[in-house]
Structure 1
Amino acid sequence: MREQFYKTLMSPVWLGALVLTALLPFVLSSYYLHIVTLSLVYVALASSWNIVGGMAGQISMAHSLFIGIGAMLSSALLLKLGINMWLGMLISAVISGVLGAAIAWIDFRFQLGHLSFVLITLAFAEMGVIIVEGWDFLGGASGLMLPRDTGKFLAFQFGGGHGTFWVMLALAAVCIIVNLAILNTPLGYYLRTIRDNEKAAQAIGVNILRYKIAAMVISAVLASVVGTAYVRYLTFADPYLLISPVITIEIVLFATVGGLGRAFGPALGALLLVPLGEVLRGKLGGTLPGLHYFIYGVVVIAVILVTPRGLLPLFEAQWKRLRSRG
């Protein structure tokens, strides 16, 4: 298992893609650099969600809560209490991890079915929205405006578009590597066993509670850290964007289109759909309102109908077919 992990990690394709992506700020305009940066944010978020939703089969709608904690709480701690945002990120990640463990325990304790788990996690997300909008410490419905980014790294500032791009690239890479690592360890096998047949997994001695909690905690912590970095990039903690369940729906969509339960599947979905949505909105949003949503929806529906398991398995099958012919 370790050999497969290191083989994939040191693959020339993977390393070459990282190097080429890191050079993009030198050749892209600010508009297209923003699109790529946003894509990397969703690569990281979709990959973090994949640990719970793809590997363990637990369709969590609570990830907007973890993202919101990372974004809104770290911002409030900085602006209201003067706490360094690095420390605020750690505090938010710990709180998100504890909350994730509590949600996983509720799932195990009450033996929730898949639909019940979706509804419970959605209820947690909605409660998070209500708390943020009603609590002045977190900015309320008006949100919070962060200080201007002057490039002070120790103050959690990255020097504008280029610096933030590299930070988001690093976070996206970390989230993908964590997925790879889990898939090539016993934890990954246990999670997939739980996903495929929870009763059978329990019958052969798999500790259901332990591994569900582990998956949810890892996923929640990663989502919270990405949320903190994302709000630093936006410079405005907008509750309607950062803690709304809509952001969870988006990352679930990206992970599903790319390929659930695969290390690179969610990344592929985000890298294809985020630029598509942004470019369509930029080209058609002003002249033909609503048309970009229609085209985007048609593309997503077509992809899901053609390849229900996601694009990555389809690409892999085509690649194997080409290699066999060669």
Structure 2
Amino acid sequence: MREEFYKTLSSPIWWGALVIAAIMPFVLSSYYVHILTLALVYVALASSWNIVGGMAGQISLAHSLFIGIGSMFSAALLLKLGINMWLGLVISAVISGILGAVIAWIDFRFQLGHLSFVLITLAFAEMGSIVVEGWDFLGGASGLLLPKDTGNFLAFQFGGGHGAFWMMLGLAAICVLVNVAILNSPLGYYLRTIRDNEKAAQAIGVNILRYKITAMVISAMLASVVGTAYVRYLTFADPYLLISPVITIEIVLFATVGGLGRAYGPALGALLLVPLGEILRGKLGSTLPGLHYFIYGIVVISVILVTPRGLLPLFERLWARWRGPAVASKP
């Protein structure tokens, strides 16, 4: 199990992909760097959600709450109390982890079904949105404007577009690696057992509560950290963007299209769909309003109909077919 994780960590393909991605800001225009930065944000968010939604089978819509805590609360701590955003990141992540544990405990205590769990988590997200929009400390409905990014790393500033891209690349890589580590650990096996048959897992002695709480805490804390980095990149804490349940629905979409429960599936979905949506909006949004949404929807529906398990399993089958004759021809 650990060998698979270390194999991934030492893979030349993995490091080659990171190096190629890291030099993208020197090759592409600022517009496309911005699109790739957004894609990396959603790679990290979709990968963090995958721990709960893909591996454990708990379709949570509360992740906008964790993203909102990471973004709105850390920004408020900086602007209202003068607390460094690095410390704000830690405080927000701890609060998100505690809330995640509470949600997981409620799920276990009341034996919620899948639909009930979705509704409960959506209710938490909506309550968080109402609190943020009505609390002046968090900026209320007007949001919060962060200081200009001057590149002061100790103040959680990364020097504009290139620095933000590298920061998001690092966070995305960490979130994907956490997925790889969990999938190849006992925790990953227990989560998949709970997902496939919770009663059978409990019957064979799996501690359902412990592993649900563990998965939710890890997922919530990662989402909160990404939220803090995202608001630093945006420089404006917009409650209608950062704590809206819509952002969670987008995350679920990317993870589903890429491949639920797979280490690289959510990343693949985000890397394909986010640039597609942004480029369609940039090219068609002003000339033919609404057409980019229509094309984007057609693409998503087609992918789901052709490969219900996601794009990653399809790519793996195509790769195996392509390699098959080459492997067979070797003596």
TM normalised by structure 2 equals 0.98
1: CA distance, partners of 2:2 / 2:212: 22
User: Partner residue of 2:197?
Assistant: 197
Structure 2 counterpart SS, 1:263: coil
Q: Tell me whether 1:62 sits opposite 2:62 in the alignment.
A: yes
User: Partner residue of 1:260?
Assistant: 260
Structure 1 counterpart SS, 2:179: helix
- Please list the CA deviations of residues 185-204 of structure 1 after superposition, one character each: whole Å capped at 9, or x if unmatched: 00000000000000000000
Structure 2 counterpart SS, 1:248: helix
1:139-288 superposed matches below 5 A: 139-288=139-288
User: Partner residue of 1:298?
Assistant: 298
2: CA distance, partners of 1:302 / 1:201: 35
Deviation at 1:15, TM superposition (A): 1.2
2: CA distance, partners of 1:73 / 1:4: 37
User: Partner residue of 2:103?
Assistant: 103
User: Partner residue of 1:307?
Assistant: 307
- Please list the CA deviations of residues 233-254 of structure 1 after superposition, one character each: whole Å capped at 9, or x if unmatched: 0000000000000000000000
2: CA distance, partners of 1:144 / 1:299: 36
- Please list the CA deviations of residues 43-93 of structure 1 after superposition, one character each: whole Å capped at 9, or x if unmatched: 000000000000000000000000000000000000000000100110000
2: CA distance, partners of 1:208 / 1:106: 12
What amino acid is the match of 2:272? L
Structure 2 counterpart SS, 1:69: helix
- Please list the CA deviations of residues 214-241 of structure 1 after superposition, one character each: whole Å capped at 9, or x if unmatched: 0000000000000000000000000000
Q: Tell me whether 1:81 sits opposite 2:115 in the alignment.
A: no
Deviation at 1:284, TM superposition (A): 0.2
User: Partner residue of 1:20?
Assistant: 20
User: Partner residue of 2:11?
Assistant: 11
- Please list the CA deviations of residues 1-45 of structure 1 after superposition, one character each: whole Å capped at 9, or x if unmatched: 111111122222111101100010111110000000000000000
2: CA distance, partners of 1:45 / 1:113: 24
Structure 2 counterpart SS, 1:325: helix
1: CA distance, partners of 2:30 / 2:295: 25
Q: Tell me whether 1:324 sits opposite 2:320 in the alignment.
A: no
> Please, which runs of 5 or more residues in structure 2 have no aligned partner?
327-331
Structure 2 counterpart SS, 1:147: coil
Runs of 4+ in structure 1 deviating by more than 4 angstroms, as ranges, are none
1: CA distance, partners of 2:110 / 2:325: 52
- Please list the CA deviations of residues 251-289 of structure 1 after superposition, one character each: whole Å capped at 9, or x if unmatched: 000000000000000000000000000000000000100
What amino acid is the match of 1:297? G
TM normalised by structure 1 equals 1.00
2: CA distance, partners of 1:164 / 1:225: 14
1:25-64 superposed matches below 5 A: 25-64=25-64
1: CA distance, partners of 2:247 / 2:320: 35
2: CA distance, partners of 1:101 / 1:117: 14
User: Partner residue of 2:329?
Assistant: none
Q: Tell me whether 1:115 sits opposite 2:128 in the alignment.
A: no
RMSD of equivalent CA atoms: 0.5
Residues matched between the structures, number: 326
Deviation at 1:325, TM superposition (A): 2.0
- Please list the CA deviations of residues 99-130 of structure 1 after superposition, one character each: whole Å capped at 9, or x if unmatched: 00000000000000000000000000000010
Structure 1 counterpart SS, 2:36: helix
Structure 2 counterpart SS, 1:249: helix
